[in-house]
């Protein structure tokens, strides 16, 4: 159905609601009736800390909807399924739970807070402040990458090791491009 085919008000509202699908749990502003449609949480798939919104969000699988229609929802939208949230938290591995329960989630790297990777924009060698534990010499193995994440306007410094662990394909592509560029300029 296209907007021009129907010119009665409820059809336009339905079309807009379908076209610009709003959050499943929140009430649609463009409601063609006074009754609130409630969506049922089938499962909580994963979590992230949204730095821009300063809140935890959960990737929700909605009952009766395909996986492609999952949405990120803030905790306050999940008030009618506390048992599912509790089960989700208990099922986390120890390391995952430690990150999730962080007292200062803003201090987590983009990968740790489960932000979406956008791109790597640079790399840098070891810093003077990176010293090996047993000596005062800089740790020569510690390199950093400047990474852009979808929940921040700024690039973040992440260790190369963490970049390769979380996004190996993109890390290899980034460094391969730099090596090829360097080889071309030196010949």
> Is 39-105 a domain of CATH 1.25.40.10?
no
Fold classification of 117-186 is OB fold (Dihydrolipoamide Acetyltransferase, E2P) (2.40.50)
Nearest by Cα to 15 from 23, 25, 5, 26: 5
**Residue 136: partners with Cβ closer than 8 Å, 6 or more residues away:** none
pLDDT at 30: 38
pTM of the model: 0.63
**Is residue 24 exposed (0-12), middle (13-18) or buried (19+ Cβ within 10 Å)?**
buried
pLDDT for position 124? 84
As separate numbers, helices (DSSP H) first and strands (DSSP E) second, the chain gives 5, 6
Other C-beta atoms closer than 10 Å to the C-beta of 117 total: 16
| Domain spans of the chain, in order of start | 1-38, 39-105, 117-186
DSSP 27: P
Q: Do domains 39-105 and 117-186 have the same CATH topology?
A: yes
- What is the C-alpha separation between 44 and 84, in angstroms, rounded? 7
Give the pLDDT means over successive 10-residue stretches in the chain (187 positions): 47 51 42 61 94 93 94 92 92 90 90 94 78 56 89 91 94 86 64
């Amino acid at each position: 159905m296209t907007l021009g085919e129907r010119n009665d008000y409820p059809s336009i509202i339905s079309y807009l609601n379908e076209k610009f699908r709003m959050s499943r749990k929140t009430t649609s502003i463009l409601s063609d009736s006074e009754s609130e449609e409630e969506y049922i949480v089938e499962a909580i798939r994963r979590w992230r800390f949204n730095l821009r919104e300063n809140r935890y969000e959960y990737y929700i699988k909605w009952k009766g909807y395909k996986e492609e229609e999952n949405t990120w929802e803030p905790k306050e939208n999940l008030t009618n399924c506390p048992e599912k949230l509790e089960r989700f938290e208990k099922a986390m591995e120890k390391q995952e739970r430690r990150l999730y329960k962080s007292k200062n989630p803003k201090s987590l790297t983009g990968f740790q807070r489960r932000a979406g990777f956008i791109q790597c924009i640079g790399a840098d060698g070891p810093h003077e402040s990176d010293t090996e534990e047993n000596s005062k010499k800089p740790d020569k193995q510690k390199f950093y990458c400047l990474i852009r994440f979808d929940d921040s306007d700024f690039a973040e410094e992440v260790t190369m090791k963490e970049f390769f662990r979380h996004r190996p394909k993109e890390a290899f592509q980034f460094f391969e491009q730099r090596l090829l560029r360097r080889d071309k300029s030196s010949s």
